[in-house]
A and B are shown apart, each in its own frame.
Chain A
Amino acid sequence: AQSVAQPEDQVNVAEGNPLTVKCTYSVSGNPYLFWYVQYPNRGLQFLLKYITGDNLVKGSYGFEAEFNKSQTSFHLKKPSALVSDSALYFCAVRDSGSGTYKYIFGTGTRLKVLA
């Protein structure tokens, strides 16, 4: 069965420092991986995706993520955090081998960027 784990409920980082939000996954086929951000009382905003190709994926607002097949990870990164990056971040996976198009979401990681 497909699953996603976000091991950290919250990540605190100082403004200007690099940030990492962790995500690991488990699927039977090839993974399609996604990161979404959610601001308070708002919907899910797409950041980036990995379908195939380069393992390093660049997305919106300076975020990037690296697909690591051997570690089954897809960590979200940004070289220099902004206070405005503070939000709830969700990793999601779709299992290309499952015959389903549904996404499985992680439990979310709250990012706090401190000024």
Chain B
Amino acid sequence: EPEVTQTPSHQVTQMGQEVILRCVPISNHLYFYWYRQILGQKVEFLVSFYNNEISEKSEIFDDQFSVERPDGSNFTLKIRSTKLEDSAMYFCASILRNEQFFGPGTRLTVL
């Protein structure tokens, strides 16, 4: 069964460094999403992406964040200058027929 994959599973970085989180959505899906979950708390919407552009973003998704689909399969989330409060689980999802399929997540730890 096809699934969404994410790499790395855990990323540790120093405050102020750039990180890129990678996702491979399910191949025939067209809408892609990033969500964030801080330490077992609420899952928060960050951004949605369709047809190679952002279709919606939350107030969390400020200028430090960007998304790209560089090669037609990968979908990346970049944080330019990480802050301590960016430490969280980041989930990628893709959608088909009203159902979102979530990846296993990347745990980002900012020291």
Residues of A with Cβ closer than 8 Å to B? 32, 34, 36, 41-44, 46, 49, 51, 88, 90, 92, 94, 100-108
Once A and B bind, how many residue pairs between them come within 8 Å at the CB atom? 54
Query: Which secondary structure dominates chain B's binding surface?
Result: strand
Complex contacts, B45 vs chain A, CB 8 Å: 102-104
Which of A44, A90, A94, A107 has a CB less than 8 Å from the CB of B98?
A94
Q: Could you name 27 residue pairs across A and B whose Cβ atoms are closer than 8 Å?
A: A32-B98, A34-B99, A34-B100, A36-B102, A41-B107, A42-B104, A43-B91, A43-B105, A44-B43, A44-B102, A46-B101, A49-B98, A49-B99, A100-B48, A101-B48, A101-B55, A101-B56, A102-B48, A102-B56, A103-B33, A103-B43, A103-B100, A104-B45, A105-B42, A107-B41, A107-B42, A108-B43
> B40 at interface (Cβ–Cβ under 8 A)?
yes
Q: In the complex the two chains form, is B41's CB within 8 Å of A108's CB?
A: yes
Q: Which of B35, B44, B98 contacts A51 (CB 8 A)?
A: B98
- Tell me if B95 is interfacial: C-beta within 8 Å of chain A: yes
**Shortest 6 CB-CB contacts between residues of A and residues of B:** A43-B104, A105-B43, A44-B102, A102-B45, A43-B105, A107-B42
